[in-house]
Amino acid sequence: MKVSLEEVTKVFDGGVTALDALSLEIQDGEFFALLGPSGCGKTTLLRTIAGLETASSGTLRIGDRDVTGVPPGARDVAMVFQDYALFPHMTVADNIAYPLRIKKVGRAERRAKAASTGEGLSLGGLMERRPAQLSGGQQQRVALARAMAAQPTVFLLDEPLSNLDARLRLEARTFLKKLQHDLDVTTVFVTHDQAEALALADRIAVMESGRIRQLGTPREVFQRPANVFVAGFIGSTPMNLLDGECVPGDGETATSWGHRIDVAGVRLPVPEEIVTELAPGDKVIVGIRPEYLTESDEGIKGTVEIVENLGTTSLVTLATTGPNVQLTVPEGREPKPGATLHVTPRPGRMLVYRADDGELIA
Ligand code: ATP
């Protein structure tokens, strides 16, 4: 089912505004990620959808039903908590069957349903164990099975993978993606791990201070961050954000086509699609991912400071006259520390933000 929020605000006792007039529509069947730094309001938003927090103002709908004041049990949502919150004294089977017991489903039907759900999540041989006798990954699957058994219309997952070690995490990530695809249930999950959000979600809301700074597909958010906040947040190696100024072209016409952006003393061409948006004197911030900087005879000059091995590539940090610039180079092509390099963005891979408000010029 669709989940929609209209101008939802949550102010906690003590005055913290965790959600600030936030509006959002999550589509039926969508796998939706809430992403952002610690304290941005992700968990509060999830808990508000669950009914564990009450909005201070605004409207929340699940499907066409206004559930703003409806208690959690009557919302038809299931939440999986970060620590899984399994009942330690119950077996796996009883844990999975628990929501059905609450719904007063008969014992035989509960057993059968728990068994088939457990089977679907590869828990078949573990049904009589207790949570303490399971690995982290198995506990996570029990928590998911318990949420699924209730057949909710919306799944809410709070950092579902954060308690797993790196290897298991990848495995569980793939598993979760397939499960969500098969179930086709609207799923909202909270994460502070952008790789996880990019890998799993149909769409991502990137949050800051109780607001959504960008809403888009993983590709949109990665390729075209809407502002410098998102640009700095998304990407396993952070985007280079360099101060620049629009200047007239070298002795050319004074038309906008001749404009350049001066970055660290180098004049880069203004991307064609935004030439009419800029005039000489405009202050900008140029965003270039380390993956999209290449060595060239001209371009921003820097001295190699650090070379970090990332596996199939290396991350090179250059000291320039301005802030440091980072680029990735293929394995085996690493420059030596102390060497001088010139780097330039690949055509079409430079983003330009307004310096005053940090918004993408598009
Ligand atoms: P994290 O990734 O660290 O879990 P988050 O993005 O999930 O962070 P929230 O837990 O939603 O952030 O918190 C948002 C803001 O609201 C924070 O400033 C937090 O301190 C505050 N907050 C959260 N819960 C309460 C509460 N019960 N009472 C008062 N303030 C709270």
Whole-number Å distance between alpha carbons of 214 and 193: 16
pLDDT digits (tens, 9 = 90+) for 348-362: 899 999 999 999 998
Ligand 1 centroid–CA 5 distance in Å is 19
* CA of 43 relative to ligand 1 center, distance in Å: 7
Which residue matches tokens 């099975």? 145
Whether the CB of 209 sits within 6 Å of ligand 1: no
**Probe ligand 1: pick from 12, 47, 211, max atoms within 8 Å of CB?**
12
| Reported pTM | 0.88
Q: Is 161 exposed, middle or buried (0-12, 13-18, 19+ CB in 10 A)?
A: buried
d(CA 352, CA 285): 6
CA 286 to ligand 1 centroid distance, Å: 32
Centre of ligand 1 to C-alpha 18, Å, is 6
Tell me, what's the pLDDT at 59? 97
Q: Which residues of the chain have pLDDT under 70?
A: 250-258
Calpha distance 97→91 (Å, rounded): 10
> 86: buried, middle or exposed (CB in 10 Å: 19+, 13-18, 0-12)?
buried
Q: At what angle do helices 107-120 and 136-149 cross, to 10 degrees?
A: 130
Atom of ligand 1 nearest to the CA of 41: 11
User: Cα–Cα distances in Å, from 296 out to 62, 186, 270, 287, 342?
Assistant: 54, 47, 18, 18, 6
Token pair for 317: 């940090």
- C-alpha 326 to ligand 1 mean position (Å): 33
CB atoms within 10 A of CB 356: 10
For residue 77, the tally of other CB atoms under 10 A from its CB is 25
Domains, the chain, ordered by start: 3-227 (3.40.50.300), 240-354 (2.40.50.140)
| pLDDT at residue number 217 | 97
Contact 340, 303 (CB under 8 A): yes
Phi (first) and psi of residue 133, to 5 degrees: -95, 15
**Smallest CA separation from ligand 1 atom 2, residue:** 38
**DSSP collapsed to 3 states, the chain:** CCEEEEEEEEECCCCCEEEEEEEEEECCCCEEEEECCCCCCHHHHHHHHHCCCCCCEEEEEECCEECCCCCHHHCCEEEECCCCCCCCCCCHHHHHHHHHHHCCCCHHHHHHHHHHHHHHCCCHHHCCCCHHHCCHHHHHHHHHHHHHHCCCCEEEEECCCCCCCHHHHHHHHHHHHHHHHHHCCEEEEEECCHHHHHHHCCEEEEEECCEEEEEECHHHHHHCCCEHHHHHHCCCCCCEEEEEEEECCCCCCCCHHHCEEEECCEEEECCHHHHHHCCCCCEEEEEECHHHEEEEEEEEEEEEEEEEECCCEEEEEEECCCCCEEEEEECCCCCCCCCEEEEEECCCCCEEEECCCCEECC
Integer CA distances (angstroms), 109 to 76, 100, 145, 149, 354, in order: 20, 9, 16, 11, 61
Asked if residue 54 lies in contact with residue 69, where contact means CB atoms within 8 angstroms, the answer is yes
